[in-house]
Amino acid sequence: MSGDTRKISIFGATGSIGESTLDLIGRDPQAYEVVALTGGHNIARLAEQARQFNAQVAVTAHESRLDELRDALAGTGIEAAAGQGALDEAACRPVDWAMSAIVGAAGLEPGLRVLEHHGTLALANKESLVCAGPLLMATAQAHHARVLPVDSEHSAVFQGLVGEDIDAVERIIITASGGAFRDWPLDQLADATLDQASSHPNWDMGQRITIDSASMFNKALELIETKEYFGVDPAKIEVLVHPQSLVHAIVGFNDGGMMAHVGPPDMRHAIGYALHWPERRALPVERLDLAAIGQLEFRAPSDIRYPALRLAREVMAAGGMSGAIFNAAKEIALDGFIAGTIGFMDMGAVVEEALDRLSADTGLVHAAFTLDNVRAADQMGRVTAQEIIDAGL
Ligand code: NAD
Ligand code: MG
């Protein structure tokens, strides 16, 4: 804490999670001093946010957009910066709390910098844990900094564990809506279009995570995220399809009791919990009327419909840099689907083939958990997945 205000930064401020975070901050602006806000191509929105919250610095990831950002902030006294170096510099500015809401492996390094400078890291960027869980958690420990989960399922588990002993946990169940194609006949999935994959039945999120929800790659990443964050045996982690998206996770204990976290599908709950932790404060989210909702359904996910879940289990068993390879190959496969180069079901095939090809390289997979080695594995995952796509699968 710095005086009465808390210094905060938001990495990925212009995205879905970033906007929801600023929505909460904006309801009590005098409680916060905004240090850095970062974004990508949406310069107009980034400048608008920086002005509204009087940020110290606004950073776009794209160097070519610096002049535009400078012009948009002219006369405000707010610094404008661009590119990876600027992002890194912004992440080194000390804060009490930072939101990690960049999408993809690009979110890892700013998060590490925040932790190195002793800031509390609210982690929406699950890819950080998938690529480099041991590195991220060790960095937090070494600098006496804290990582707080923001992914709704992980926030739910975290809340379910308050006052509990992790050794008494028998199982952790994370739920999945099943995404856009939950009820589609299997033989039609190969022809699913980008538009169809980009609309989620329950959550309003960025496009990439929405498509990952339809393919269940999002839940695959979350399985690994659960293992890395809570340090539990993968055999204890389960996925249930829950179409209503109201029960976010369930923690099962050794006495047979299960604690379910129930709440509206609104990320401001999990963001607000991480923002105010260890307190609970009132949040502007819907209060559920369970009598009107009537039913909560659960079913086991199909491995045929969702090969991503099987791949995540294989990645957890292999360990090491497999998570970084898996995530990188998934990012390239997703790029391919968005660009129309490959079909919806090809994404799983590309990732599986990339993992197969690289798993033989034990030097790569079982390298020590350093940032350089994670970067190398990420790069190999990307190159290999792209080769597979270019060769026509
Ligand atoms: P989004 O696409 O809406 O926003 C992403 C943000 O990151 C934007 O500000 C964008 O400009 C920035 N960005 C993108 N690529 C970048 C790069 N290479 N370098 C620097 N900045 C970059 O994404 P989102 O839906 O807000 O998701 C953000 C993260 O939170 C993801 O890791 C996602 O898995 C996770 N998450 C999101 C939700 C949700 O409801 N949206 C829920 C749980 C977890
Ligand atoms: Mg989630």
Element (H, E) at 8: strand 6-11
CA 64 – ligand 2 centroid, Å: 33
**Domains observed in the chain:** 6-149 (3.40.50.720), 155-264+302-390 (1.10.1740.10)
pLDDT of amino acid 2:
46
Rounded distance, CA 345 to CA 277, Å? 40
Q: Is the dihedral of CA 210, 271, 323, 15 positive or negative?
A: positive
CA 22 – ligand 1 centroid, Å: 14
pLDDT of amino acid 4:
82
Reported pTM: 0.98
- Give, in degrees to the nearest 5, the angle at Cα 112 between 91 and 374: 130
* Ligand with the closest atom to the CA of 249: 2
CA 101 – ligand 1 centroid, Å: 5
pLDDT of amino acid 303:
85
Q: For atom 5 of ligand 1, which residue has the closest CA?
A: 15
Pocket lining for ligand 1, CB < 6 angstroms: 12-18, 39-40, 61, 101-104, 106-107, 124-127, 151, 203, 205-206, 208-209, 267
Atom of ligand 1 nearest to the CA of 41: 11
CA 75 – ligand 2 centroid, Å: 40
CA 214 – ligand 1 centroid, Å: 17
pLDDT of amino acid 1:
46
**Residues in Cβ contact with 361 at an 8 Å cutoff, skipping those fewer than 6 apart:** 380
Question: Which parts of the chain sit beneath pLDDT 50?
Answer: 1-2
Pairing state between β 169-176 and 247-253? antiparallel
CA 125 – ligand 1 centroid, Å: 7
Asked if residues 225 and 151 have their Cβ atoms less than 8 Å apart, the reply is: yes
Q: Look up tokens 């197969």; give the residue.
A: 356
**Residues in Cβ contact with 46 at an 8 Å cutoff, skipping those fewer than 6 apart:** 13, 14, 37, 38, 39, 58, 60, 69, 72
pLDDT of amino acid 54:
98
Element (H, E) at 36: strand 32-39
CA 289 – ligand 1 centroid, Å: 30
Amino acid sitting at position 241 = V
CA 267 – ligand 1 centroid, Å: 13
Select from 102, 131, 229, 268 the residue to mutate for testing ligand 1; criterion: most ligand atoms less than 8 Å from CB. 102
Rounded distance, CA 35 to CA 53, Å? 9
Rounded distance, CA 304 to CA 274, Å? 35
* Ligand with the closest atom to the CA of 202: 1
Rounded distance, CA 371 to CA 221, Å? 19
Rounded distance, CA 226 to CA 237, Å? 8
Atom of ligand 1 nearest to the CA of 14: 9
Amino acid sitting at position 264 = P
For 289, other C-beta atoms within 10 Å of its C-beta total: 8
Atom of ligand 1 nearest to the CA of 110: 20
Structure tokens at 213: 């929800």
pLDDT of amino acid 393:
82
Q: pLDDT tens across 23-74, in order?
A: 999 999 999 999 999 999 999 999 999 999 999 999 999 999 999 999 999 9
* Ligand with the closest atom to the CA of 219: 2
Q: What is the full DSSP assignment across 319-364?
A: -TTHHHHHHHHHHHHHHHHHHTSS-TTHHHHHHHHHHHHHHT-HHH
φ, ψ for residue 32, nearest 5 deg: -130, 150
Pairing state between β 247-253 and 147-149? unpaired
Asked if residues 229 and 220 have their Cβ atoms less than 8 Å apart, the reply is: no
Select from 10, 11, 17 the residue to mutate for testing ligand 1; criterion: most ligand atoms less than 8 Å from CB. 17
